[in-house]
Structure 1
Amino acid sequence: MVQGLRVIGVAIRAEPRVFTAAVLSSALYGVTTVGSSWALGWATDHVVLPSFRQGRAGTGTLVVAALLIVGVAVLKAAGVMGRRILAGVMQYRMQARSRRAVTRQYLRLPLAWHHRHPTGQLLSNANSDAEAAWAPLAPLPMAVGVIVMLVTAAGAILLVDPVLALVGFLIFPAIAVLNLIYQRKLSPLAMRAQQLRAEVSEVAHESFDGALVVKTLGREDAEAARFQARADELRDANVLVGRVRGLFDPLLEALPTLGVLAVLLVGSLRLEAHDIAAGDLIQVAYLFTLLAFPIRALGWVLAELPRSVVGWTRVQQVLDATGSMEYGTAALDGPIDGPAKLEVDDVAYGYDPEAPVLSDVSFTVAPGRTVAVVGPTGAGKSTLTQLLARLIDPDRGAVRIDGTDLREVAKGGVSASVALVPQQTFLFDDTVRGNITLGLAVPDETVWAALRLAQADGFVSALPSGLDTRVGERGATLSGGQRQRIALARALVRRPRLLILDDATSSVDPQVEKRILYGLRDGSADSTVIVVAYRMATIALADEVVYLEHGVVAGHGTHERLLARCEGYRNLVTAYEREEAERAALDTDADEEVVA
């Protein structure tokens, strides 16, 4: 409970004015609710009972009673409206604030941190956890306000008849004990249910994100079963929460009712003895019926606290995460529109410190050159491209552009000069133009020039609305090669000084790929090009090759030189041709045996 109250304290400090106004509105509701009991008592003594004795009621007293009851009701309604509206404003503001803070933190944290956290968990932190953290704020102003009602009602009962007050107040110890047992039973169940909500969200997102794999491999039933298992756990946890509430709620309702019955019983005896007036008995009985509501309102807040603590803790784990990417103040020293000089100096990096992916990687690329990065699977090629674009920072060594360490460049400086087209192409559910410009103010002529260089202008022109054609979620209406060419045009339209292609033309026809690379090498003098390549034809187009093996540079030079001097490189790039030759030889031997 202490942690839950601390979370509430954070919200109060963040929104003091809204909270104060909401509590005052709730206090108005509480005071007017108690005031309605006084109005009923006054109407009983001055209108109802005289009417029975005299057979009629005075017009003046009727008007006064009506105005009194209506006036109290109007003030009570105003208090209810203010309380609910302001409580909602406070809750939704805090949820929005948490979501913005979590999202900003996601953008600030380096890619290495995101590699260690599944996407479903991150979505859960920004959505259901932020929502759960501030769930108690909806009933909070009401609970604080009804404390005023509770104190006012208790004071009014004592003033009317101390004896009846003593009888009625006997229920309070019983209610306090019941609430204590209720919270102890409910808290662990509510915490478990909130954790399972996050797990269900993680499984669902993973299944949806991998829909293509699930469907192509026929894993629908397995994924459905995996989701059902988590959903069943969540259902069972919520059922247990519901059972506890279903058991304790009637008891909480019954205790104040028993108190009212005891007050009526004792009050009837005192009324017969002329120790109390009928209006006073009605007022006291009505006030005791009101006492159940403040207790329930406090219970609502206490019931939400365990879930709130879980949500707040999960959000804070994100906000407290370390590993931010720091920026310097330097600018890249090269020409604004000219190709960049790239230096990789003794770079090492590992996702796990005990298992480095790259070690002692060093090479230099002159401005305007096209370099192919080649290596077997797991050699560290994609990791190297992320280092060159400063998506991650090396554990040791430095990556420099025009002599400037990328870690010293001001924020936005690297992305203004470097463009990375990754292996996995992502397109937004937007138009072709929107996917290329991404909000950048670029004239259509420049967009078409980038499309021509990416060999994409032909199929884009053939689309129903050209640049205004929507491509669907993740570019679902386009082929893999078309998506890759759109992604390449997205990079080219920004005229990068260093262009990095991480196997970015793997889905493109070899002839189209050849034209793209020719265009990048010969038709565009503004970029230095780094291309992760596997095809012999692609590699042969590069000015030089960097060959990675086991995370180190095992060879650097022209394609012909590496073929002659580097056995690992030669075996890798000629593997396909050698396999074809071996198959042809086997087929020839088989034919000769048949002839013989």
Structure 2
Amino acid sequence: MASGTSRDVLGRGLAVLGRAIGEQPRIFAVAVSGSVLFSVMVVGSAFVIGTVVGDVVVPAIERGAVGVGGLALAAAVLLGISVLRVVGIFGRRLGAGYMQYRLQADYRRRVTRRYLELPLSWHHRNATGTLLSNANSDVEAAWQPIAPLPFAVGTLVMLVGAVASLFATDWALALVGLAVFPALFALNVAYSRRMAPRQARAQLLRAEVSGIAHESFDGALVVKTMGREAQETDRFAARAGQLRDALISVGRLRGIFDPMLETLPSLGTLAVLVVGAYRLQQGAISVAELVSVAFLFTVLAFPVRAIGWVLAELPRSVAGWDRVRKVLDATGEMPYGSTRLDPAVDAPATLSFTDVAFAYEPAEAHLPGIEVLGEVTFTVPAGKTVALVGPTGSGKSTVASLAVRLVDPRAGTVRLDGVDVRELAADSLAGTLALVAQVPFVLDDTVRANVSLDRAGVDDEAVWAALRLAEADGFVAALPDGLDTMVGERGTSLSGGQRQRLTLARALAGRPRLLVLDDATSAVDPRVEAAILAGLRSPAAGGPGASILVVAYRRTTIALADEVIYLEQGRVIARGTHPTLLATVPGYANLVTAYEQAEVDHERQQTYDEVIPLPPTLEVDR
């Protein structure tokens, strides 16, 4: 089984290398040409040195005089060979490096592009740390053997030339070479077989360590507030320890095989000298031929290692490539259509749901999906505001995601201005609607960059207009550098309400015709929230006059809506105006009353804190 697995790794590894050569044939040709030139010069230099020793040095010793002309010619030939070897090394290394880094950059882009194409349901099943590892260390591992590959190809040419030269020189010396070279290959194959599972495990553990680290960093606030620093440290240390042990196992195996790979060519050289001396005494070979063959074995010791480097990296390359290919071959992408809504139309858009059903895909393929929505039908008329209300888990956020096509329905149709959103071109869809998510995400950049996102036409004037609509212009103007203020990672220098208003301004800067607010003002004061929603509905106040779908729980927000959709367990239970539902739907009335009571209790607590402030020490603790 192990042997079959290792042969499979060898075959798959060679297939990965073949793919690399197929994608970068010209660069590979340059690198191999340099390597072949170097190899030919190495073999040639061995026979030149043998000739110099046999025809120049030995006669000079016998005569007791040195021929200047012969030495000058020998020096010129050796210098020429050295120059060509340098040219070969330069071409080989430059080509191999360029090929390797170009492939890594290209596949990082491919993996990242694939991430953007795959739906949220796929991302929900894969940890962020693993995805980072796929795009970084796995891509790097997949193309790691490219660096020594041209050298190894040149070395094969060198070995063929060396064996041919040995047979041309003496059959006995050729038999020594035929014994040493296969032994080197056999040793490298044995090395590859034992290294394969170790490299695969190490690559998997790299991804797991990256995933745990990302979770800890991303959830730093939760970790610290819950006092879980020690537990998270232990969790990370345990997996990091496993990675350390796996890498030590890799290093230990290299420590065993590397000396053997170094020793075997040296033993070959010793065997050549012993056999060569005997053949020299028999008169079968000359001094020049013995020196040439001995020198050839000496200089072959290092290049032959290049083959071992390639074979040693193949297991890690296969492990990395399998993980990269898993991303590239992932299915579930949401292709866009080619239909475009009229860009000249500046009127609010109409959104309609017709018998929409949705189920989240399970983490494992054999498990059933989690049904979230079923037969949801409603319309957001042009220029109107519709509020989605329902208990936790009723599917409100899923409706918001479907409205902006972050996910596609399992059944039914979502239409924008009468067109199925699946038929719309990506730029037309993005230019027509905007989503402000429940959890605001602020980039580690300036206020200007967070609002404009480098979109064409969103200048400072448009940025300030969006900030005014989001009731954010006041606090932005008070910042030390205004629009140029750096807000920190995830907006750490801003309050929760300020982050929400900043992300709302980002959506408004694009002048959407449909605005989807997924509880996007929950951290904002109710009076400010009412002012924001009123401004959004009024073109006279500078608002876009867009249609609005808002996931809401505050009575003040719900009361501003033209229509309320009440959801329970993923189905529309009732629809109508807020007063009508309050009077006719007990579940709706109980939910809104509970929300309102929680809001009143919160405001009372704020008033109490203002009237009777806590002592400084308790205030800090609280």
* TM band (smaller chain): over 0.9
SS of the residue 1:373 aligns to: strand
Distance 2:401 2:600 in 1: 37
Paired residue for 2:477?
Answer: 461
Partner of 1:505: 521
1:157 touches 1:287 (CA, 8 Å); kept in 2?
no
2:593 pairs, out of 562, 574, 580, with 574
Separation in 2, partners of 1:516, 1:37 = 84
Say if 1:342 and 1:402, in contact at 8 Å, map to a contact too: yes
Distance in 2, matches of 1:549 and 1:192, equals 46
From 137, 140, 143, give the equivalent of 1:134: 143
Q: For residues 6-33 of structure 1, what are the alpha-carbon distances to aligned partners after superposition, in whole Å with 9 as ceiling and x for unaligned?
A: 1111111111111111111101111111
The answer to whether structure 1 residue 554 and structure 2 residue 573 are counterparts is yes
Letter in 2 for 1:191: A
Aligned residue for 1:398, secondary structure, equals strand
Q: Report if aligned partners of 2:336, 2:425 keep a CA contact under 8 Å in 1.
A: yes
Q: What corresponds to 1:58 in structure 2?
A: 67
Whole-angstrom CA distance in 2 between matches of 1:247 and 1:329: 60
CA contact (8 A) 2:464 2:473 kept: yes
* Distance in 1 between residues matched to 2:314 and 2:242, nearest whole Å: 21
Q: Which amino acid aligns with 1:519?
A: G
Does residue 536 (structure 1) correspond to residue 545 (structure 2)? The answer is no
CA change 1:485–1:580 in 2 (3 A) is closer
* Secondary structure at 2:356 match in 1: strand
Q: Take 2:32 and 2:204, find their aligned partners in 1: how far apart are those partners? A: 31
Match of 2:365 in 1: none
Segment drifting more, 256-265 vs 137-146: 256-265
Q: TM-score, normalised by structure 1?
A: 0.94
**In the alignment, which residue of structure 1 is the partner of 2:93?**
84
5 Å-filtered alignment, 1:465-544, equals 465-522=481-538, 523=541, 524=543, 526-544=545-563
Q: Structure 2: give runs of 5+ residues left out of the alignment.
A: 1-9, 362-367, 602-622
Paired amino acid for 1:561 = T
1:176-187 maps to which residues of 2 (within 5 A)? 176-187=185-196
Change (3 A) 1:119 1:580: closer
C-alpha contact 1:419 1:499 (8 A) present in aligned 2: yes
Deviation at 1:163, TM superposition (A): 2.0
Q: Tell me which stretches of 4 or more aligned residues in structure 1 moved more than 4 Å.
A: 576-582
CA distance in 1, matches of 2:522, 2:102: 46
Query: 1:543 and 1:78, CA in 2 relative to 1: closer, same or farther beyond 3 A?
Result: same
User: RMSD over aligned Cα, in angstroms?
Assistant: 1.9
State the Cα distance separating 1:497 from its structure 2 match.
0.9
Report if the CA contact (8 A) 1:194-1:310 is conserved: yes
1:31-73 Cα deviation digits (max 9, x unpaired): 1111111221122123322232222212111211111111111
Partner of 2:372: 357
The CA distance in 2 between the partners of 1:311 and 1:507, in whole Å, is 43
Distance 1:485 1:93 in 2: 42
Read off the aligned partner of 1:499 and give its amino acid letter: L
Return the alpha-carbon distance in structure 2 between the equivalents of residues 253 and 118 of structure 1.
43
The DSSP-based 3-state class of the residue aligned with 1:494 is coil
TM-score by length of 2: 0.90
Once the 2 structures are TM-superposed, how far is the Cα of residue 570 of structure 1 from its aligned partner? 0.6
CA deviation after TM superposition for structure 1 residue 579, in Å: 7.5
Contact 2:537 2:545 in 1 (8 A): no
Matched position secondary structure for 2:522: coil
Structure 2 partner of 1:398: 413
In the alignment, residue 428 of structure 2 is paired with which amino acid?
A: G
Deviation at 1:374, TM superposition (A): 1.0
SS across alignment from 1:356: strand
**2:325 aligned with 1:316:** yes
Unmatched runs of 5 consecutive residues or more in structure 1: 583-596
Per-residue CA distance 1:551-594 (angstroms, 9 max, x = gap): 11112111111110011111111115567999xxxxxxxxxxxx
Q: For each residue in 1:444-472, what CA deviation from the matched residue of structure 2 results, as whole angstroms up to 9, or x when unmatched?
A: 22211111111001111111111111212
**Aligned twin of 1:125:** 134
Aligned amino acid, residue 532 of structure 1: V
* Secondary structure of 1:504's aligned partner: coil
Q: Which one of 459, 462, 466 corresponds to residue 446 of structure 1? A: 462
In the alignment, which residue of structure 2 is the partner of 1:384?
A: 399
- Residues 576 and 192 (structure 1 numbering): CA distance in 2 closer, same or farther, change over 3 Å? closer
Aligned identity (percent) is 59
CA distance in 1, matches of 2:594, 2:406: 32
Count, aligned residues: 583
Letter in structure 1 aligned against 2:536: L
Query: 1:454 and 1:579 mapped to 2: Cα distance?
Result: 25
Structure 2 vs 1, CA of residues 274 and 93 (structure 1 numbering), >3 Å: closer, same or farther? same
